[in-house]
Amino acid sequence: MALLKTILGFAEPIGLAILLVYAYGFVRRSVGSYRQVCMMMGLVFGLTSLAGMMSPVEMSEGIFVDMRNLFIGVAAAFFGVIAGVITLVMAATARFYMGGIGVLPGIMGMGVAVVAGLTWKVWVRPRLTGKAMPYLVLGLMISAHLAVAFVLPAAMRNKFLIELAPILLVANLVGALLLGKLIRREEILADETIRLLSAAQRDHLTGLLNREAALTRYEALSISARPDTGLAMLCIDVDSFKAINDTHGHLRGDQVLVEIAERMNALLRPTDMFARMSGDEFLIVVTDLTREQASAIADRCQKSVSETPAMCDGAQIDLSVSIGCTWAEEKPAFAELRDCADQALYNAKERGRNCVAHRALPVTQGLSVARPAVA
C-alpha cells in the first residue's frame, strides 16, 4: 500500500504537467516572440513544480522527495536557459522555505536537472532519432539528480536508493517520454498554424504583405511623439506594365514584379510596411520620419528601379515606376491617407511617369489618432 501511495504521489504531478503542456500551443500562437514563449513556459513548469512539491514523499524530517526535477529538466530541455532558470528559481525558493537537512541536496539536484536538460537540448537531441529514444534518454539524463543522495547520511542514502530511486527513475523516464512527445506535437501544430497564418497574409509572388494584411498592419502602427516627425505613404505603380507583359510574356512580367519589390525592399527598414495591393500596384508606409526624409525615401525607391534594367531569362527590360507620396504628422485613417497618395500618384502619371509626385494631406480631414503632447 505504501508503494502504491508513493507511485500515485509521483504520478499526480506528471498528469498535471500533461494538462499544462496543452497551454504551450496556445502560448506559442498567442505570444509575440520566442523569448516570451520561453518565459511563459518557465512560469508554467515552475507552477507545476510547486504543485508537485505540495504533496511530497517525506523520507524523514526535512527530507522530501517529489517530481520537481523532471519539470525543471524538461523546461530547460525544450525551452532553453530562460525557462530552465525560471523553473529552477521558483522550485529552489520553495524548497529553501520548506527547510530541513535536505535543502542543500535538494537544490543541488535541481541544478543537475537544469544542466541535464540543457545538455540534452544542445548536444544530445540533434544526434538522436526515433519516436521514443530521445525522450527516454532525456529522462535518464534528468535522473542524474539521484546521485545527490550520496551527500545524505548513510542510513537515509541507502533507504532512498533502495526504496525510492527506482520509482523516481521510472517516473522520470515515463514523464519525459509523455511530456516530450506532447510538447513535440504541440510544436508541430503551432508551427503549422503560424505558417498558414503567415501565408494568408503574404502575396504569393513577391512575399510582401497582401492588401488585407496591409490594412490590419496599418491599424496597429504607432508613431512617436518627436516633433516634426510623422508617417508617409507611397503609392507605387509600375510604368507600362501591360506593355511588358505583352512584349515579354507574363512569366517575365512576374519576374519584373519580384525584381522591383526586392530593389525597393532593400531600401526599407524592418519596421516599414511594404505591400502588394494588386497586380502592379505597391504600397509603402514608413513611420517616425520628417517630411524631407519621406521625400528622400520616395526618390530612392524610384531611382532604384529606373537606374538599372532588369535581366529576365536573358531579356533586358527597362523599368520605371511612378510614385505618389503623402506625409502626415499624425496618423490619419487609412482611406484618407491612401486617397491622398493615390491623387499624388495620378499627378506623377500626368507628368509623364517615372517620377515622384507629392501631395499634402488636407488639414480639414479628420485624424483618427492624436499625437501625445511633448513636454
Burial of 332 (0-12, 13-18, 19+ CB in 10 A): buried
Task: Output the pLDDT for position 155.
Answer: 77
Indicate the range of 85-99, 156-170, 268-282, 315-329 predicted with least confidence.
Answer: 156-170
Is 78 domain-assigned?
Answer: yes
Interval 301-312: pLDDT, tens: 999 999 999 998
**Mean pLDDT score, 330-344:** 94
* Whether 33 and 13 share a structural domain: yes
**Mean pLDDT score, 287-291:** 92
Contact 75, 104 (CB under 8 A): no
Indicate the range of 124-138, 176-190, 338-352 predicted with least confidence.
Answer: 176-190
* Whether 190 and 230 share a structural domain: no
Interval 42-70: pLDDT, tens: 998 998 888 878 776 666 665 677 889 99
* Whether 50 and 162 share a structural domain: yes
* Whether 20 and 110 share a structural domain: yes
Regarding predicted confidence, which is higher, 98 or 369?
98
User: Is pLDDT at 32 greater than 70 in this prediction?
Assistant: no
Contact 349, 242 (CB under 8 A): no
Is 205 domain-assigned?
Answer: no
Is 237 domain-assigned?
Answer: yes
**Mean pLDDT score, 152-177:** 84
**Mean pLDDT score, 70-82:** 95
- With a pLDDT cut of 90, the percent of the chain lying above it is 54
The residue among 200, 233, 251 that closes a domain is 200
Is 120 domain-assigned?
Answer: yes
Contacts of 7 (CB under 8 A, 6+ apart): 167, 171
**What CATH number has the domain bearing residue 227?**
3.30.70.270
User: Is pLDDT at 352 greater than 70 in this prediction?
Assistant: yes
**Mean pLDDT score, 78-82:** 95
Question: How big is the chain, counted in residues?
Answer: 375
* Count of beta carbons in the 10 Å neighbourhood of residue 83: 27
Is 185 domain-assigned?
Answer: yes
Task: Output the pLDDT for position 60.
Answer: 64
**Mean pLDDT score, 87-99:** 92
Is 375 domain-assigned?
Answer: no
**Mean pLDDT score, 255-273:** 94
Is 374 domain-assigned?
Answer: no
Indicate the range of 32-46, 74-88, 136-150, 247-261 predicted with least confidence.
Answer: 32-46
Instruction: Report which DSSP code applies to 371.
Output: P
Degrees (nearest 5) of the Cα angle 183, 189, 190? 85
Q: How far is CA 305 from CA 35, 200, 310, in A?
A: 38, 28, 9
* Whether 173 and 303 share a structural domain: no
Nearest Cα residue to 294 out of 332, 270, 323, 258: 323
Residue with cell 508537485: 52
User: Is pLDDT at 372 greater than 90 in this prediction?
Assistant: no
* Whether 229 and 182 share a structural domain: no
Nearest Cα residue to 348 out of 327, 325, 322: 322
Regarding predicted confidence, which is higher, 59 or 283?
283
Contact 223, 368 (CB under 8 A): no
* Whether 159 and 228 share a structural domain: no
Contact 116, 141 (CB under 8 A): yes
Q: What cell numbers appear for 124 in the block?
A: 544530445
Domain that holds residue 146: 2-200
The residue among 148, 177, 200 that closes a domain is 200
Task: Output the pLDDT for position 15.
Answer: 64
Task: Output the pLDDT for position 367.
Answer: 44
* Whether 195 and 157 share a structural domain: yes
User: Is pLDDT at 175 greater than 50 in this prediction?
Assistant: yes
Regarding predicted confidence, which is higher, 374 or 101?
101
**Mean pLDDT score, 243-270:** 94
Distance between CA atoms of 346 and 40, rounded to whole angstroms? 50
Task: Output the pLDDT for position 29.
Answer: 67
* Whether 155 and 194 share a structural domain: yes
Task: Output the pLDDT for position 13.
Answer: 62
Is 206 domain-assigned?
Answer: no
Q: How confident is the model at residue 34 (pLDDT cuts 50, 70, 90)?
A: confident
Compute the chain's Rg from CA coordinates: 30
User: Is pLDDT at 361 greater than 50 in this prediction?
Assistant: yes
User: Is pLDDT at 276 greater than 90 in this prediction?
Assistant: yes
* Whether 220 and 344 share a structural domain: yes
* Whether 16 and 155 share a structural domain: yes
Q: What are phi and psi of 314, to 5 degrees?
A: 85, -10
Domains: count for the chain: 2
Contacts of 372 (CB under 8 A, 6+ apart): 225
Distance between CA atoms of 36 and 42, rounded to whole angstroms? 10
User: Is pLDDT at 131 greater than 70 in this prediction?
Assistant: yes
Task: Output the pLDDT for position 4.
Answer: 43
Report the chain's mean pLDDT, rounded to a whole number. 86
Task: Output the pLDDT for position 14.
Answer: 64
* Whether 181 and 34 share a structural domain: yes
The residue among 200, 223, 254 that closes a domain is 200
